Structure 1
Amino acid sequence: FVCPTEIIAFSERADDFRKINCEVIAASTDSHFTHLAWINTSRKQGGLGPMNIPILSDKSHRIARDYGVLNEETGVPFRGLFIVDDKQALRQITVNDLPVGRSVDETLRLVQAFQYTDKYGEVCPANWQPGAKTIKPDTKAAQEYFVDAN
């Protein structure tokens, strides 16, 4: 029941991710036939409707297993979210238990934070938002942030 809400939420925000040079890809262990049926089912009936992101079929469970989110006992993957940068480095992993969905806003914030730190060499404090102060990773320079923040 949670899956379509997440896929729709990320699909609806796909342009926000593209504006910051980020692509979103969904994956599920259902077949591509199931995905097609899901897309052709209206959202009012629990379907996905039109999508702005691709949905990969991981019928073999290889992706889920490789990323460490497959529950081998049940054969059902947990809700995994992975941020991979333009150098193919895994920057962030979120794994939720099945009853709770992931946050699109938090994912967008994390991508922006990683991009900021890569570009400027500064670090982002807790709850950082684009445009907020960052910390220079130097003991003396960091004092400016701590004086202002406290």
Structure 2
Amino acid sequence: MLLITRKSPDFTAPAIMGNGDIKENFNLKTFIKNKSAIIFFWPLDFTFVCPTEIITFNRRYKEFKEKQVEIIGISCDSVFAHQQWRLMPINDGGIGMIQFPMISDITRKIIQSYDVEHPSIGVAFRASFLIDKKRIIRHQIVNDLPFGRNIDEMMRMVDAMQFHEKNGEVCPAQWKKGNQGIHMTRENTAKYLSENF
């Protein structure tokens, strides 16, 4: 199911927070109030591609926070599994002290509400959702299990969303922060194409 332009499904579930505390009733709507957010799903803790994505999000955490974007990670593991994985050093296969909330979706209700459940295995696909300040999903991407995400691309989409919100211009192919956008008129599109293509 495509969720673009729809309100992000709300949920309340157990989470381990960035400070290591377990919160039994983490609520998405309350947590991201008046902020943008990236929700990303991974299949299982203690696996292979998953730690590379989680650690990379964590290393870019400050950059996302500076853009007023919250990061929220979700899998069907328990908060206790998340906690143990956080306590393991990276060089032992752990993920270290992750700064963002890691949600436990043991019931798989969140995975199902975002329609990212693998049909035969029951775990989440590698799905990411960019949510604006009004809780509208503006970008989503879903990878099959073997393929890790590009966190640079998630950052680029945050920049594109904020550029559009600020200027009202659209972002052409290969746009990145610092590039020009396009005013939505035929004349401006023609001008952009003549200058860039």
**Same-fold status (TM-score > 0.5):** yes
Match for residue 36 of structure 1?
83
1:95 counterpart (106, 125, 142): 142
Alignment of 1:4 onto 2:37:
no
Query: Are 1:55 and 2:102 counterparts?
Result: yes
Who is 1:147 aligned against?
Answer: 194
More strand by share: 2
Question: Aligned residue for 1:137?
Answer: 184
- Matches of 1:11 and 1:54, distance apart in 2: 11
Pairwise CA distance, 1:54: 1.2
Mapped partners of 1:61, 1:119: distance in 2: 36
Greater relative contact order structure (CA < 8 Å, 6+ sep): 2
For 1:142 and 1:72, the matched residues in 2 are separated by: 42
Matching of residue 74 in structure 1 with residue 121 in structure 2: yes
Mapped partners of 1:94, 1:52: distance in 2: 23
**Which structure is higher in helix share?**
1
Cα contact 1:12–1:52 (8 A) shared by 2: no
Output one character per residue of 1:53-110: Cα deviation in whole Å (capped at 9) or x when no partner.
Answer: 1111111111111001102422111111000110010111110000111111000000
Give 5+ residue unaligned stretches, structure 2: 1-47
Aligned length: 150
Identity between Structure 1 and Structure 2 (%):
40
Find the aligned partners of 1:98 and 1:66 in 2 and give their Cα distance: 19
Quick one: distance in 2 between partners of 1:137 and 1:46?
49
Task: Quote how far apart the aligned CAs of 1:143 are.
Answer: 2.1
Name the CA distance, whole Å, in 1 between partners of 2:191 and 2:129: 33
Structure 1: which 4+ aligned runs deviate by more than 6 Å?
A: none
Give the structure 1 partner of residue 63 of structure 2: 16
RMSD: 0.9
- Pick which of 137-146 and 55-64 moved more: 137-146
Rounded to whole Å, the distance in 1 between the matches of 2:93 and 2:142 is 23
- In 2, are the aligned partners of 1:84 and 1:91 still within 8 Å (CA)? yes
Match of residue 105, structure 1, among 138, 149, 152: 152
Counterpart for residue 124 of structure 1: 171
Q: Deviations over 1:117-146 (max 9, x none)?
A: 121111101110101011111011222211
Q: What runs of 5+ residues in structure 1 fail to find an aligned partner?
A: none
Q: Distance in 2 between matches of 1:47 and 1:37?
A: 8
Task: Please state whether the residue corresponding to 1:5 is helix, strand or coil.
Answer: helix
- Deviation at 1:43? 0.5
Deviation at 1:20, TM superposition (A): 1.1
